[in-house]
Chain A
Amino acid sequence: MSRSSWDRFQNFSFILPALVIFSIFYIYPFFYTFILSFQDYDFISTPKFIGFSNFREVLTDKEWWSSMYNGAFITFWALTFQNILAFMLALGVDRVIRMNKFYRVVFFMLPILSEIIIGLLMKQLLSSEPLGRDIFNRWITNLGLGFLAQDWLGTQHVRLVTALVHCWKGFGWAFVIFLAGLQNIPQQLYEAAHIDGASAWQVFRKITLPLLTPVIALVLVLTILGTMQAFAMILALTGGAGGLTEVPVMRIYNHLRFRLVGLACGEGVILGLILIVVSFGMFFISKKIREKYGVLPS
């Protein structure tokens, strides 16, 4: 008996380091967020319990909701433009035989690099005089598209440009997942459809799309979660542009820098809840779609 409990202790000690670090840096902070969100704390004075007033402040704060709008705006572009582009590229690369490795390597280079590098590089290219040099405008002028030249990071376009740069950084990631999904589809299905005389559109509609639904749902959920939490690239690219491209996490970050810990936690809790609801909703919807269109078990 004592031998077996010693044995079990030995076994348990294998997970002990992981468990200790996990408890200190995940479980404790997880609950600590909720505690802090009911407090007024600035790192110096003792925390004061102030009830729901942080949450009240967040929920009635116009700037918070405008930052949520900005996040949703960028997410909308990532969901549509980025993912459709990635899907088309994946379909294309799946079909070509030559160069397909080259394309894969190039497309996946951007997701590897840090958000700061991407943000600063695009800032160099897009910003106009006197701070920048209008590089991008010069390029399109050389291509004969000079009439499109704009002050890309000016108040008029900055939000859309930020969204597009985000898509530019992220499409490679969605592309790789779509491509992996496409290559998992058994080749016999296509052959059978070909023998039955199905048109390309029918093959796409009846084989490719339904078999990819789980992958598409996964990419959509991860896009929402990732984009709503992205902010380092935007900080590097625009620094918030006076609120025009301020996203929720940037607001939380800035509040923490201004030592408004309770408020930052309140915002974090609200954003986290919204994200959980949205991602569960998405999974639910995709499950319904899968049931309705009767996808083959894979």
Chain B
Amino acid sequence: MSDTAYRMTASAADEAMPFGELGDYIALMKPRVMSLVVFTGLAGMLVAPGHLHWLLASVAVLCIAVGAGASGAINMWYDRDIDAVMERTRLRPLPLGRIAPEEALTFGVVLASGSVFLMGVAVNWTAAALLALTVLFYVFVYTIWLKRRTPQNIVIGGAAGAFPPMIGWAAVTGDVSLESFTLFALIFMWTPPHFWALSLYRCGDYAAAGVPMLPVVAGKAETKRQMLIYTVLLVPIAMVPTLLGFAGWVYGGAALVLGLAFVAAAIAVRRDETDRSAKRMFGFSIFYLFALFALLIADGVIGSMA
């Protein structure tokens, strides 16, 4: 083949075949979501009573991260049509054509299966079953079933994001308990106000994509009202770890202060006609969850050292 002919063939192949860079595959795993999942999973492990070898603990964290990333990849495969329409997601690797859809699906399925298998073999099968449940729930219940059908999509679907501390807990103890369910409940109640804050200032995006988020279906006023209800309910739930005795009073006090600040943010959103408070509340909601779980981790580590 001559140089010119080769270059022409190669150039045509470049255009026809979507070969993403390594960064595209990392983007496929939603690294920002993954970081929160890893953090809450790690908190579950550190708060749980018992001991796990550091290598097995690291493998558990890796499996939670990869499982979450795999769910994200499968979600992007299924949602590639609406991702292309929405401003927030149109630069993802699939809408840009940098990764072929079937490749994204294979990538997600292989990683999900691998992470569940490794969790089972290296750590225990309770944690592996919970990880499998998380992936299946996110893909089938949230992405495929609820997301495009009901404004309660992120309320029920939010359970998928709430499982990681339960998985971390199960990695250490080998079971599911009231304490680990409390951590699940905490994230479960936090998810609706967090996502609805985002959807308040992105509702045009969701409407264009045909996703029935609460502000699109029920209006902004009703969304703000429900956000306030969830943030108020979150305050006592965040105190339960202290009441059950697996977190100290420093955590309890901080959880109360942070919870009241979250409620104040929800009130501000309710009074504000612009999107400014909603944006602020979205940012604060991320800080709130990170701070709460950081306090739990600190409490657990200090408690185990004492």
Do they bind each other?
A: no
Please report B residues at the A interface, Cβ cutoff 8 Å. none
Please report A residues at the B interface, Cβ cutoff 8 Å. none
